[in-house]
């Protein structure tokens, strides 16, 4: 059952308010005209990049489970604070430079290779891990309580699979979902403000629950 849960959490991360608005930017970066094969390879490299990092987190969580579990409430508070900052950034209240780097991605991707895409995926995981923290921490808690490095690795691999499959499918069929992208772009400011508000509420929820757990 936990395997299905983690895979579903990966899918949920893909449509989370802080990932969904940037999907058109990422997909347009991978897409290479009508070259479906190269687009697929680029998207696969990207997915493999963040999968490596998330699986390593799973190995760490299952190996040092007791340590992670002991401080998980404090980690969630940090995640909560990041979500609030991210939400304020989306709403235009704050401007955090590194959170807006995706807007400056160069569209000239003719020289994009599998290795570059892989490195891009690693950067994505390091930058956006707190953003998908609610789902990722849940998967890490399951890995922590599993008591097995193998199970922890499988759990985070399935989480990455849930997050990665939609990226690959969307990249391959980017031409067929252009209309959906145009809707997102057209209402980008509204979507960002709604997403920002949701992220702030998620951050506050994380912090309040964690503080309650610490003092309970």
Rounded mean pLDDT of the chain? 76
The model's pLDDT over 159-181, given as tens digits with 9 standing for 90+, comes to 999 988 988 888 877 666 656 66
pLDDT band, residue 88 (cuts 50/70/90)? confident
Query: Which of 82-86, 152-156, 158-162 has the weakest average pLDDT?
Result: 82-86
**Using CA atoms, how far apart are residues 64 and 41, in angstroms rounded to an integer?**
34
How far apart are the C-alpha atoms of 199 and 42, rounded to whole Å? Answer: 29
**Which is more confident, 75 or 115?**
115
pLDDT of residue 102: 47
Tokens standing for residue 183: 């809707």
- DSSP run (H or E) holding 97: none
51 pLDDT band (50/70/90 cuts)?
Answer: very high
What pLDDT is recorded for position 176? Answer: 62
Distances (CA, A) of 125 to 7, 117, 145: 17, 12, 23
Nearest to 163 by CA among 29, 7, 17, 3: 7
pLDDT at 68: 63
Give the pLDDT of residue 109. Answer: 54
* pLDDT band at residue 130 using 50, 70 and 90 as cut-offs: low
d(Cα 43, Cα 27) in Å, to the nearest integer? 8
**Number of C-beta neighbours around residue 170 at 10 A:** 21
As to burial, measured by CB atoms within 10 angstroms (0-12 exposed, 13-18 middle, 19+ buried), residue 90 is buried
**Cα–Cα distance list, 99 to 29, 83, 103, 126, 149 (Å):** 17, 11, 9, 12, 32
Q: State pTM to two decimals.
A: 0.67
**Which pLDDT does position 48 carry in this prediction?**
93
Which of the two residues, 124 and 102, has the higher pLDDT score?
A: 124
Read off the tokens for 186: 């057209």
Tell me the pLDDT band of 158, cut-offs 50, 70 and 90. Answer: very high
Question: For residue 185, how many C-alpha atoms fall within 13 Å in the half-sphere facing its CB?
Answer: 12
Q: How confident is the model at residue 132 (pLDDT cuts 50, 70, 90)?
A: low
Task: For residues 40 and 164, give the distance between their C-alpha atoms in angstroms, rounded to a whole number.
Answer: 12
H-helix segments, the chain: 2-14, 23-30, 36-63, 65-91, 114-128, 133-146, 149-172, 178-186, 188-215
Q: Label residue 197 by pLDDT band (50, 70, 90).
A: confident
């Amino acid at each position: 059952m936990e395997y299905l849960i983690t895979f579903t959490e990966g899918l949920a991360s893909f449509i989370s308010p802080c990932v969904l608005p940037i999907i058109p930017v990422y997909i347009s970066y991978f897409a290479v005209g009508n070259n479906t094969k190269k687009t697929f390879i680029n998207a696969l490299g990207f997915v493999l990049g963040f999968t490596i990092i998330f699986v390593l987190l799973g190995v760490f969580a299952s190996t040092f489970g007791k340590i992670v579990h002991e401080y998980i409430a404090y980690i969630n508070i940090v995640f909560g604070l990041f979500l609030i900052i991210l939400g304020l950034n989306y709403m235009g209240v704050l401007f955090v430079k590194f959170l807006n780097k995706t807007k400056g991605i160069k569209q000239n991707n003719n020289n994009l290779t599998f290795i570059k895409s892989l490195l891009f995926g690693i950067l994505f995981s390091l930058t956006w891990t707190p953003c998908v923290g609610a789902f990722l921490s849940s998967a890490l808690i399951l890995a922590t309580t599993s008591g097995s490095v193998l199970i922890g690795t499988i759990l985070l691999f399935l989480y990455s699979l849930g997050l990665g499959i939609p990226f690959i499918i969307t990249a391959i069929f980017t031409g067929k979902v252009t209309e959906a992208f145009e809707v997102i772009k057209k209402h980008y400011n509204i979507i960002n403000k709604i997403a920002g508000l949701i992220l702030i509420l998620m951050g506050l929820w994380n912090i309040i629950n964690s503080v309650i757990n610490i003092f309970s």
